[in-house]
Structure 1
Amino acid sequence: MIKGLYEAHLPVKDRKKALAFYEGLGLPLAFEGHRVTFVWIEKGKSWLGLWDSDEVNLPYHPSIRHIAFQVDKDDLRRSQEWLDELGIEVKTTFGVSPEDQPLVLSNLPHGHGAIYFDDPDGNSLELIPPLELDTYEEREIIPFEEWDRATQRGNG
């Protein structure tokens, strides 16, 4: 029955500025309405709604102000460089500094790569590929580069 997530929504102060930011991430305009603009994440499969809001500065909580975009491992390898080219700063997350990201999270029994940054309204964004499903061993959060080297040696 359920095949994926079709839409998610974020509050924004300035939809034109937000649209420019998300288009800069490669998400094209899908629809512009009176109070909401949608950008395609994957055309016909998923989109993101950007809503005019006076309440953009809500306290952060991942259940209301966080979007994770799925990428593959190769994209994650170059994500730090790509975000830098776009002028987007990686943020410290889980006590891990931007220089040590992307990172690998243990969501037992799964392992996921991740890198975190904010949009212009402070909404938390993440690029995330699944790395190991149903086989990940419990580890502390480690830099993706360290995980990548270990798995290439066959120690993952």
Structure 2
Amino acid sequence: MIQGIFETHINVSDVEVSARFYERLPGVTLLHQDTQRKSRFYWIGEPGTSMLGIRENYPSPLVQRQHFAFTTGVEQLYTAAAQLAELGITAQNFHGNSVEQAGELIVFPFMPAVSIYFTDPDGHSLELIAMLPHKAQPEQPLMTWDAWEALQQQG
């Protein structure tokens, strides 16, 4: 019955500021703008597969920090930190450490997946996550991508 998550909406303090942020991200395309409700809707990735909505002061002027992850490919994560830096966005790993190289990113062996984190103007936690083509290893602790790759070469 449920096949995935199609749509996510977040409350923002200033729709224009947030729109400028999201509209710079590769793979984010403006779908619709509702000026009366101070909201915008974006296709994420392939149009028709996933949508993000931002709305100013809805349901209240209080903005509670949210977290969501964008799907990406393994190849894109190799250059994601540099691309974000070009946009003036600091990339971090799961532990909150600033990253400049993909090898510093953290792998979640129980999936397995690797990801990079950044924040929007309201402090919402955004993630780019890529599934890795290896067998899940839930017995392994979180580790850097470099350590994960070394482990895969051993076994």
Q: Please classify the TM superposition score into its range, dividing by the shorter chain length.
A: 0.7 to 0.9
Give the secondary structure class of the aligned counterpart of 2:81: helix
Is the 1:80–1:101 Cα contact (8 Å) retained in structure 2?
no
Instruction: Tell me the amino acid that sits aligned with residue 6 of structure 1.
Output: F
In the comparison of the two structures, how many residue pairs are matched? 145
In the alignment, which residue of structure 2 is the partner of 1:23? 23
The alpha carbon displacement at 1:83 in A equals: 1.1
TM-score, structure 1 as length reference: 0.81
TM-score, structure 2 as length reference: 0.82
Task: Tell me, in whole angstroms, the C-alpha distance in 1 between the residues paired with 2:135 and 2:151.
Answer: 18
Q: Which residues in structure 2 correspond to 1:25-64 (within 5 Å)?
A: 25-26=25-26, 27-33=28-34, 34-35=36-37, 36-41=39-44, 42-53=46-57, 54-56=61-63, 58=64, 60=65
Cα distance, 1:141–1:4 mapped onto 2, change above 3 Å = same
Task: Tell me, in whole angstroms, the C-alpha distance in 2 between the residues paired with 1:23 and 1:73.
Answer: 23
The alpha carbon displacement at 1:16 in A equals: 1.3
Give the secondary structure class of the aligned counterpart of 2:19: helix
Task: Tell me, in whole angstroms, the C-alpha distance in 1 between the residues paired with 2:79 and 2:5.
Answer: 25
Cα distance, 1:16–1:10 mapped onto 2, change above 3 Å = same
Give the secondary structure class of the aligned counterpart of 1:78: helix
Task: Tell me, in whole angstroms, the C-alpha distance in 1 between the residues paired with 2:145 and 2:70.
Answer: 17
Q: Which residues in structure 2 correspond to 1:71-82 (within 5 Å)?
A: 71-82=72-83
CA RMSD of aligned residues (A): 2.1
Task: Tell me, in whole angstroms, the C-alpha distance in 1 between the residues paired with 2:2 and 2:11.
Answer: 26
Q: CA-to-partner distance for each residue in 1:6-63, whole Å, 9 max, x for gaps?
A: 100111111111111111102111011122210110311111000111111x2x4xxx
In the alignment, which residue of structure 2 is the partner of 1:3? 3
- Unpaired runs of at least 5, structure 1: none
The alpha carbon displacement at 1:133 in A equals: 6.4
After TM superposition, the structure 1 stretch with the greater mean CA deviation from structure 2, 117-126 or 96-105, is: 96-105
